[in-house]
Chain A
């Protein structure tokens, strides 16, 4: 179906806000933090016009709690932050994982730890996305690398959150947050928008954690079904339990609903990978430098290719393993001190994996990647 498409020059953070609106986001709870603030600012203008609710909360913890609350009431809810805010939000993110409340969190990555380098880019929160909150918990993290992709991946984040009843993260670095590119904004209906399953049957029979489903339907609070939600391990009806069988079942189930659907959640781009002997594994703005480097290497007759995870978590294990089997070497540039390289090593077990790391607040330059490609071709 071809609708009317509007082409606009947008900043990454504005594209994110547009994606959220397209996906039906009708609640934003947030707090000012560089370099993500434009998401909040854009939505503070746009949401009221569309009947949505926009609240600036008093801090980062309140922001994530507000979107969990809004989502329980049936809203499609978003918050946006950066490193220090992400650290503060961790407890409630774990709560949303265990209580299976869909919500979307955007993290525009800046230098860290602590206040770090607020106006510089980084990709150093990737492991925090997976392991930030305590306990085993499901994680979906999307890592777009262009402004148009921030738009589409934000939509996909809402879809995955609704489908799997879990928090979904979109992580991109400050460069992408503030850079401007042309974005095609299609008419509503062109890109699929998923809404969470609604419960059927008698209200008194409703169980928010009904284990006969892989993902149980979530009823909005206050609309006919009375139920219990708690951050304690719980039964099918949501009430706390000390039953070790139910605790085990619940902990495994929230992981399994993601693990069993990796093929649906996974998204990667393989660029010039068919005959690639040197693979560059890169995401976010680093993948842009990597693409440039791969093209330059090809001009020089080196068979280089780019493997780009668009879904970072769950990690694209099968696709990367398959691609790596044919390769001579794998180059892993990233704006951190070696985070995704650990996963590349774990998954591929490849003998020649070379990291390229920067944590000085400057982007990784294509020439740095080209040098490594040439050295390891």
Chain B
């Protein structure tokens, strides 16, 4: 694993000057993931904030070959690219032969939670099952931020969005979020992990591990969003850390079927600490909101206990 000094010395593959918001979680995630690859990288991106924010003519932030196709098919597109690469390699038609598997070209697809949990799930599932050699990175900010903060199946229970507005009829989103990390584990992927940009070391380690594996791998990364969370841009990294300290976003990996928790907070913080810094949950701090906060806490506790039970065990 690279040291901070080594990482800092590497070439930046995702440059600044893009139009992602101040305090957005996406750029540090993309920068770290790209730096984790030892060889050349080819990337695809689903429609979303990262796509529109990083590639507006005449500029691009991407110093790697990059392709956007549509909302639902980043995983299908990377499948095609990776398959073509394999075929060219097999036929000896690559202009340059990779010096080692380690330094061979890596294929990475990026998508937000809308393009991953919802409309892109079918393409992602297909690519995982077919077993392409690629890494899929989901930046999960918990809603469709690019189109104006609509709920997604990653939106946490109780969160107000423009299509789950908190009011007298509903208290924000009424459904639990989808646990897509577990769905990816169920695909028998050789490596699935959850990470967060505040813990750069952990994120870099996980991305590097995913990329050294020959097979379909998946990283789900917490991505704070000041716009959609109604939070302060300067709080983003603290919010990312709090999401792990409250165990809302447990850091763990499932490597060749073995689950390992990467971070166990010394003192698990109550979920209210995380919720209260975000305007999307402000209605929960008015009378009647306590029950929903309790419900969220119970869900987190149950999930955390379940993870602790599985820690160190072969789960498939």
Contacts and interface: CB of A to CB of B under 8 A. Distances in A.
Interface of A: 31-34, 37, 40-41, 44-45, 48-49, 54, 56, 58-60, 84, 88, 114-115
Contacts of A45: 165, 167
Contact of A59 (B68, B72, B163, B165): B72
A20 to B, nearest CB: 16
Contacts of A59: 72, 118-119
Interface in B98-127: 114, 118-119, 121
B119 A60 contact: yes
Contacts of B141: none
Given A58-B119, A59-B118, A84-B70, A32 B148 contact: yes
B96 interface: no
B163 A40 contact: yes
Contacts of B71: 84, 115
A114 B70 contact: yes
6 contacts: A32-B148, A33-B147, A45-B165, A59-B72, A84-B71, A115-B68
Contacts of B147: 32-34, 37
Contacts of B47: 115
Nearest to A119: B52
Nearest to A33: B147
B169 interface: yes
Given A41-B162, A48-B169, A32 B150 contact: yes
A59 B118 CA distance: 6
Contacts of B170: 48
A115 B45 CA distance: 13
Given A37-B147, A49-B169, A59-B72, A44 B153 contact: no
Contacts of A60: 119
A327 B273 CA distance: 73
Contacts, number: 50
Interface in B134-165: 144, 147-148, 150-151, 153, 162-165
Given A32-B163, A45-B167, 17 more contacts: A31-B119, A32-B114, A32-B148, A37-B148, A37-B150, A37-B162, A41-B150, A44-B163, A44-B164, A44-B165, A48-B169, A54-B163, A58-B153, A59-B72, A59-B119, A115-B70, A115-B71
A52 to B, nearest CB: 11
B178 to A, nearest CB: 9
A60 B71 CA distance: 11
A40 B118 CA distance: 17
Contacts of B144: 32
A41 B165 CA distance: 9
A66 B119 CA distance: 15
Interface in B56-86: 68, 70-72
Given A32-B147, A33-B147, A34-B147, A56 B70 contact: no
A115 B147 CA distance: 13
Contact of A56 (B72, B150, B167, B169): B150
Interface string B173-190: 000000000000000000
A169 B114 CA distance: 26
Contacts of B121: 58
Given A44-B165, A48-B170, A84-B70, A56 B151 contact: yes
A94 B132 CA distance: 34
3 pairs of A and B residues whose beta carbons are closest in the complex: A59-B119, A32-B150, A32-B147
A131 B10 CA distance: 53
A44 B144 CA distance: 15
A202 B227 CA distance: 58
A114 B118 CA distance: 19
Contacts of B163: 32, 40-41, 44, 54, 56
Interface in B28-48: 47
Nearest to A57: B118
Nearest to A45: B165
A63 B71 CA distance: 15
B173 to A, nearest CB: 10
Nearest to B114: A32
A88 B70 CA distance: 11
Nearest to B119: A59
Contacts of B151: 56
Contacts of B169: 48-49
A214 to B, nearest CB: 39
Nearest to A30: B163
Contacts of A33: 147
A182 B240 CA distance: 45
Nearest to B52: A118
Contacts of A115: 47, 68, 70-71
A115 B52 CA distance: 11
Contacts of B119: 31, 58-60
Contacts of A114: 70
Contacts of B150: 32, 37, 40-41, 56
Contacts of A40: 150, 163
